[in-house]
Structure 1
Amino acid sequence: MPEFQYDPEGLSVNTPPDRIAELLDATREAFAGGSLIRLKLGGYHGAEPELKAVEVKKIATKAGEKYSFTYKYKTRDTIKNYAEDEALALLGDGLATEFRSAQLATTDFDMMYERNGAKQRLKRAQAEGREAPSTEHNRAKNRPLSETGKPWLKALGLSGKNGAIRHDAQDKFRQINKMVEIFAPLVASLKAEPPLIVDMGAGKGYLDFALYDYLATVVKRPVRIVGVEMRPQLVEDGNATAKDSGFDGLSFEAGAIMDYDASGADAVIALHACDTATDDAIYKGISAGAALIAVAPCCHKQIRRQMEAGRPDQTLEPLLRHGIFVERQAEMVTDTLRALLLELNGYKTRVFEFVSDAHTPKNNLIVAEKDGRMGRDRDAVLSQIGAIKATFGIGEHYLESLIDR
């Protein structure tokens, strides 16, 4: 939502959306009086195609009371907290330009706002017998994994003897919950019963245990998950923990990504597989005809080395003069080529941030879903790939060599 100037007296200083000002006044008063239940903005028609709605509520933080915005996307939710002035500015501008409707619920009344072109309507109805929700620990209550006494959480070092999440594991636990929020709907879209998910470079299996637990105990959907990991001790530990947890459909196998036979996989995932190991996982997914491929890349050395040694377009010299900029450009170029190569092989792709960079700097997720086409336009995609490589002085992307061999 862009900047919007809001007058605390309740009048917009941009245009005269009086109905919007009335709704914002009511929201501000409900927030101050402790009667706000929820404000939901819908009918979105802005620039973000995956955004569906925004929900606003009141929360208590260490820095004081805030407006908590939950941005509801197709496959994930993003939460951001704002002070009152900034929150009202965002709401005012959003209602004037991007959202066609809003519903305000308080303990005393409801308000319904609708906008159709220049026409605006605001209806109010009294309500009785409601209580405002608690402003404490709202985010914890909304987590997919609410029960913290599970054996796997303790085995992976996330919870202590008392069953509570350890203080030094809070960030990791939040990250795992966010991963489940994203991956569970993607798995739910798979048609196979039960779907087979292969996690390439599984490590200790944080996502595998969390996703299996959520799907088995909350969603009640059978699933098979195999974690592929080179380190035999992690494989042994993972299988022991899966057995102790009663997760019959979760197992771990020792081996390298390229040595693993992924035939029959409905989904292939890889979180933070280093450099070209991400490409190995993508290739295995393409070769298996997996309906879903999802990777969170880590390191982009292969393309960076070519950019540094090659002859990129001279107009890029200011962008490639400093090492940190080269690194960021290499990440962008590498993952863009990966997305295009997936499109070339019949996948619809999306790239987005899946966890805050406060938890990990490697926070981009490439999601590819097979749609039966050989790219949106094969010649156009090939042309784009060639132009990017020529511009940045790249000879060949490693994934290309795998696909073409």
Structure 2
Amino acid sequence: MRKLKQVNHLMGLLRPAVEDIQARHGSPVVVDAGSGNAYLGFILYELFFKDAEGGTVLNVEGRPELTQRAQERAQRLGFTRMEFQTAHLDTAQWPERIHLLTALHACDTATDDALAVAIQKGADHVAVVPCCQAEVAQLLKDSKKAVEPTLTMLYQHPWHRREFGSQLTNVIRALTLEAFGYQVTVTELTGWEHSLKNELILGRRVHKESRPARLKLESLLGTFGVQPKLARVLGVEPSPRTEPAPL
């Protein structure tokens, strides 16, 4: 029931994006990356695609038993334009064009994989709810000696490093979307009583790229001496860190 409430609330937030792509594209492609049991995909199809003339909902999941169960369920329901692929996100076969990409609680760098695909395929809309994030915390630990000493106090202790790493991860993700032309909104998906991982990052592509956002992103990466997977895949390099001016 908690998961259902999360997905139903997400539907309300996704409705403008879905209606936009249906109005502008005859057969829009929606991808749910790391779909699990495909609950999100089924509700998207039921609400927006079952009675539409065109459109496909592609669910990509790495566990074959979940893909098989979801595929059988789609056949029983007659959801003929739901497609399923068993693959990890960094090795999946993606359609040439994606109009909306979602990723609900894709763990650690899987959210980065989803965002990278959305950006590379020029998705009109992106909606991700990140789950656990460990990569940047490890990068912060490894880069402590290269960072201005005062900043390292923010993540000196392992607990703080995990929390700060999660925050920094999502800031980098939002800024990366901005750098590649997306207008970004960060909001709460559900209340804390339903999930501690309830940060929703929404992106709508409004232009090809933003040079000011790209420079901010490179500076942020350079300041903390990190280059997480999303930045590596998209070729975003940290800017050289300069020594602070003496007081």
Q: Identify the residue that residue 246 of structure 1 maps to in structure 2.
A: 78
Whether the aligned pair in 1 keeps the contact of 2:59 and 2:84 (CA below 8 Å) is: yes
- The corresponding residue for 2:164 is 329
Any idea what the Cα deviations from partners look like across 1:359-397, whole Å, max 9, x if unmatched?
A: 11111111111112311xx1x323322332233232x12
1:207 alignment partner in structure 2: 40
Q: Identify the residue that residue 207 of structure 2 maps to in structure 1.
A: 372
Corresponding residue to 2:19 among 180, 188, 198: 188
Give the unaligned 5+ runs of structure 2: 237-247
Separation of aligned partners in 1, 2:179 and 2:153? 31
Match for residue 363 of structure 1?
A: 198
Q: Give the one of 139, 144, 167 matched to 1:306.
A: 139
Contact 1:238 1:251 in 2 (8 A): no
Which of the numbers 64, 67, 83 marks the counterpart of 1:232?
Answer: 64
CA contact (8 A) 1:215 1:221 kept: no
* 8 Å contact from structure 2 (residues 6, 189) kept in 1: no
> Kindly tell me: are residues 357 and 193 of structure 1, through their superposed partners in 2, closer, same or farther at Cα, counting changes over 3 Å?
farther
Q: Which has the higher helix share?
A: 2
- Distance across 2 between alignment mates of 1:246 and 1:231: 23
C-alpha separation in 2, matches of 1:351 and 1:173: 21
Pairwise mapping of residues 85-124 of structure 1 onto structure 2 (< 5 A)?
Answer: none
Q: What amino acid is aligned across from residue 187 of structure 2 in structure 1?
A: F
RMSD: 2.0
Task: Kindly state the Cα deviation for residue 172 of structure 1 after the two structures are TM-superposed.
Answer: 2.6
Q: For 1:71-99, what per-residue CA distance to the aligned partner results, in whole angstroms no more than 9, with x for missing partners?
A: xxxxxxxxxxxxxxxxxxxxxxxxxxxxx
Q: How many residues align?
A: 231
CA distance in 1, matches of 2:155, 2:177: 27
Between the aligned partners of 1:335 and 1:173, the Cα distance in structure 2 is: 24
Task: Give the CA deviation at 1:353.
Answer: 1.3
Residues 1:387 and 1:372: Cα distance change in structure 2 (over 3 Å): closer
Kept in 1, the 8 Å contact 2:179–2:217? The answer is no
Paired amino acid for 1:173: L
State whether residues 183 and 211 of structure 1, in contact with CA within 8 Å, keep that contact through their aligned partners in structure 2. Answer: no
- Greater Cα radius of gyration, structure 1 or 2: 1
Deviations 1:213-244 (A, max 9, x none): 11146x85753101011111111111110111
Distance 2:152 2:49 in 1: 52
Verify the 8 A CA contact 2:103 2:129 in the aligned structure 1. yes
Task: Return the match for 1:402 from 233, 238, 243.
Answer: 233
Aligned to 1:350: 185
Residue pair 2:154, 2:160 contacting (<8 A) in 1 also: yes
Q: Distance in 1 between matches of 2:2 and 2:235?
A: 41
* In structure 2, distance between residues paired with 1:296 and 1:313: 31
1:390 matched to 2:225? The reply is no
Question: Alignment identity in percent?
Answer: 29
Q: Structure 1: any 5+ residue segments left out of the alignment? A: 1-169
Distance (whole Å) between structure 1 residues aligned to residue 214 and residue 124 of structure 2:
22
More strand by share: 1
Cα distance in 1 between the residues matched to 2:172 and 2:7 = 28
Query: In 2, are the aligned partners of 1:184 and 1:211 still within 8 Å (CA)?
Result: no
In structure 1, distance between residues paired with 2:12 and 2:53: 15
- TM-score between both structures, scaled by the size of structure 2: 0.85
> Higher relative contact order at CA 8 Å, sep ≥6: structure 1 or structure 2?
2
Q: Contact 2:18–2:48 (CA<8 Å) still a contact in 1?
A: no
